[in-house]
Chain A
């Protein structure tokens, strides 16, 4: 700790470095797939590999923010669920495209990407239960409620636009990524406002 009372950040690459590398790797994979240089299964395998960059990204973020053990646990759980999701989604889509599946088998492959998203929601819930710092918990709950308001607003508006055939159909699983993005925006909003 220095004289101003702030903790020294340990040396190492910053989170932006790893985030940039991850975005560049993902963009390269998308470009290769769009130009038909690689097949879908190869793209999926490369995506899973690129996700390995999220590990140093999260660790760099934890170092920079002196993350609490609760936050570290949350990051580990969420990251594991993200790996499971990409893997599950990739396998499910590959099976769906390769075989003429019907009935319970389709139900089973739909579960492959679904179960990891349940794990993400569980990880978020556990964070709120385990977080002992009431201010950090308050901030997270506030951001979650703000984001929920955004999801409900967009969802209802889109639903009626879709009913009157003004916009295309959107699959319901989009609620989670939209809510997660809203959570990030809400936290950024609170930070900008100095809350």
Chain B
């Protein structure tokens, strides 16, 4: 699965730790999702979408 986490984060000048704090997860989690090493669960994907104020499909897409 592809995602635009890094771009969206850069647009807001957030570090990985900033995003992790907003999501209530570890920085390692953000890094793993961002680099495609881990696909988040549906609840976490919804939380990510809420934090960025975007629909899930605007952040995540199929390979």
A-B contact pairs, 27 of them (CB 8 A): A1-B15, A5-B16, A5-B17, A5-B18, A5-B27, A6-B27, A7-B17, A68-B26, A132-B24, A132-B25, A133-B26, A133-B29, A134-B29, A134-B40, A134-B41, A134-B44, A135-B25, A135-B28, A135-B29, A135-B32, A135-B33, A135-B38, A135-B40, A138-B38, A194-B37, A195-B32, A195-B37
B26 / chain A contacts, CB cutoff of 8 Å? 68, 133, 135-136
Q: Count residues of A near B (Cβ-Cβ below 8 Å).
A: 14
Nearest CB of A to B22, in Å: 13
A195→B28 CA distance, assembly (Å): 10
**B-contact 0/1 string along A1-21, CB 8 Å cutoff:** 100111100000000000000
Listed in ascending order, the chain A residues whose CB lies under 8 Å from chain B are 1, 4-7, 68, 132-136, 138, 194-195
Give the contacting residue for A6; candidates B17, B24, B41, B44; CB below 8 A: B17
Verify A1–B17 contact, CB threshold 8 A: yes
Report the minimal beta-carbon distance from A141 to chain B, rounded to whole angstroms. Answer: 13
Smallest CB-CB A-B distances: 10 pairs: A5-B15, A135-B29, A5-B17, A133-B25, A133-B26, A135-B38, A135-B32, A5-B16, A134-B41, A133-B29
Contact A136–B37 (Cβ < 8 Å)? no
Per-residue A-contact encoding for B20-63, CB less than 8 Å = 1, 0 else:
00001111110011000110110010000000000000000000
Interface size class of B (residues with CB under 8 A): 10 to 19
CB distance from A192 to the nearest CB of B (A): 14
The CA of A6 and the CA of B37, in the complex, are separated in Å by 20
Q: Across the interface, name the chain A residue whose C-beta is closest to B18.
A: A5
Q: Chain A residue with minimal CB distance to B29?
A: A135
How many angstroms between the C-alpha atoms of A189 and B44 in the bound complex? 26
| A68 proximity list for chain B (CB < 8 A) | 26
Q: Smallest distance from the beta carbon of B31 to chain A beta carbons, Å?
A: 9
> What is the CB-to-nearest-CB distance from A66 to chain B, in angstroms, rounded to a whole number?
8
5 A-B pairs besides A5-B16, A136-B29 with CB distance below 8 A are: A7-B17, A134-B25, A135-B25, A194-B37, A195-B32
A29 to B15, CA, bound (A): 48
Q: A1, A5, A136, A194: which has the most chain B beta carbons within 10 Å?
A: A5
Contact with A4, one of B15, B28, B44 (Cβ below 8 angstroms): B15
| Distance between Cα atoms of A7 and B26 in the complex (Å) | 12
Q: Provide the residues of chain A in CB contact with B37, threshold 8 Å.
A: 194-195
From residue A59, how far is it (CB to closest CB) to chain B in Å? Answer: 19
